[in-house]
Amino acid sequence: MAGNDMHTHDLIVIGSGPGGYRAAVLGKLRGLDVGIVEKAAWGGTCLNRGCVPKKDWHHTARLVAASKDAEKRGLQGALTGNLDQAWQHQHDVVGNIRDSYLDYFRRSGVHAWHGMARFIDTNTIEVGNERLHARHFIIATGSHALVPDNFPLAAGRILTTDDLFDNPPPAGRRIAIVGSGVVGTEFAFILSQLGCSILWLSNSEPLSHSGYSDAALQLLEQALETCDIQRLPRPEKVTVEDDGVRLEFDGDRVEKVDWVLLGTGRMPHTEGLDLAAAGVETGPRGFIKINPMRRTSAKNIFAIGDVANPRMTANHAMADADLAIANIIQPNSRLMEFDAVPELVYSAIELGRIGMNEDEAIDAGFEPATGFAAFETNPRAMGQDESEGFVRLIADMDSGQLLGAEVIGSEAGEIIHTIASQIGNDDALHRMAHAFYNHPARTEEIRNAIETLAAKWGLKEQVFGE
């Protein structure tokens, strides 16, 4: 789909991932004349080879895992995972969503171009043989997989997660997964439930560099222990052979796998944009330099998502999009609030967090108080046979200000939004304590955690007005 008009648009977005798509749609809804450019598959990494297909697989993996204890619920037989069929299912889902993206662009009047964008100057880009002009640009070109030097990519043998979703899985189901961050932690569980034998290669514990509490990471470890995953440090030598990949470890240990999946992080993607022509600067790690309003060194050009935000999540990309549009329409009107964006991990147990943890709260000059409520006595969780996990709130002991929260367990990715909607309000705890909740529901533990916090730390006046 292409727009042939050569007038100057109010805004052109480069990249159609969650941040770019959100920016284009929101800009159009706010009355801007908007265009969007995408050089690859519409929807970017998140839709085509990231959070959308991965969550499709996670749901399948959870069904398989839950079926192992289904007999006591009166259900006969256990499910087994099939990676090839699971791949086809996510492929179909992604295709349907991608079609809806393009359909929405058509109906909303967002002009769309398919091709590589290159800056000519601060108000002009070139896409193929066409030059497009805009008063403002938003760069949302995302990221690409980071490939360690000792794991050279090899078709069907050493893959990035991009490769895995772009093409059907290679033959063989003995798989090595590299990396202990979010991607490695998620795929280790998911693929272990989809008929694969997993060798997890990492020199550190899962999510050890994250902001999750020790209690959360302990529950994660316990959940992963049920998945029959073998764990080893990264190998000293990696050799691609005709029938698989040979991994050599310190101490003369050798393992053979069919293929290797890299979950070793991502790098901002700016190749081919010719940012210098527009006066857009990048930092030493390759991220585009931006201020808290997401503006680059060129005052009419903004950058959002993975290309500029080191947190590199779809959640942050979409939050960035909201800020960029707000500051285009009303300059200097909104600053980024990192603590207001939830972070999630979908593995053998769901982990969600928002705001500060206790160490960060202390560093910021607060005196943290905590409120805790476990799902182990929650009627809804017990009825689902998924009572692992908890809600944990962090507040300032003096003011009662809500500083952060963790939700660990089933449906954490949904429950965290109730808390996220209140982050930043001075009376957040008061509002949530006085809300009415469905029963039985996991979300009730938010109220229970607040009541525990108020009683334990003498915050009844701040929370209840007493």
pLDDT value of residue 141: 98
Spatial contact of 275 and 283, defined as CB atoms under 8 Å apart: no
Domain spanning 349-464: CATH superfamily: FAD/NAD-linked reductase, C-terminal dimerisation domain (3.30.390.30)
pLDDT in tens, 186-203: 999 999 999 999 999 999
Span 35-52, mean pLDDT? 96
Please indicate whether the domains covering 8-145+267-338 and 158-264 agree at the CATH topology level: yes
pLDDT value of residue 1: 46
Given a cut of 70, whether residue 419 has pLDDT beyond it is: yes
Cα 47 from Cα 444, distance rounded (Å): 32
> Regarding beta strands 111-114 and 34-38, do their DSSP bridges make them parallel or antiparallel, or are they unpaired?
parallel
- Mean pLDDT (the chain) is 95
Cα 232 from Cα 234, distance rounded (Å): 7
3-state SS class at 253: strand
Given a cut of 80, whether residue 2 has pLDDT beyond it is: no
Q: Where are the domains of the chain?
A: 8-145+267-338, 158-264, 349-464
Span 352-358, mean pLDDT? 96
Spatial contact of 335 and 425, defined as CB atoms under 8 Å apart: no
Given a cut of 80, whether residue 212 has pLDDT beyond it is: yes
Q: In what helix (H) or strand (E) does residue 459 lie, and over which residues does it extend?
A: none
**Tokens encoding 24:** 């284009």
pLDDT value of residue 5: 47
Spatial contact of 392 and 215, defined as CB atoms under 8 Å apart: yes
Which of 77-81, 187-191, 281-285, 409-413 has the weakest average pLDDT?
A: 77-81
Provide the CATH topology of domain 158-264: FAD/NAD(P)-binding domain (3.50.50)
Q: In what helix (H) or strand (E) does residue 434 lie, and over which residues does it extend?
A: none
pLDDT value of residue 466: 66
Q: Which CATH class is domain 8-145+267-338?
A: alpha beta
> Regarding beta strands 244-249 and 253-257, do their DSSP bridges make them parallel or antiparallel, or are they unpaired?
antiparallel
Spatial contact of 181 and 205, defined as CB atoms under 8 Å apart: no
Given a cut of 60, whether residue 210 has pLDDT beyond it is: yes
Spatial contact of 190 and 54, defined as CB atoms under 8 Å apart: yes
pLDDT band at 69 (very low <50, low <70, confident <90, very high): confident
pTM here is 0.95
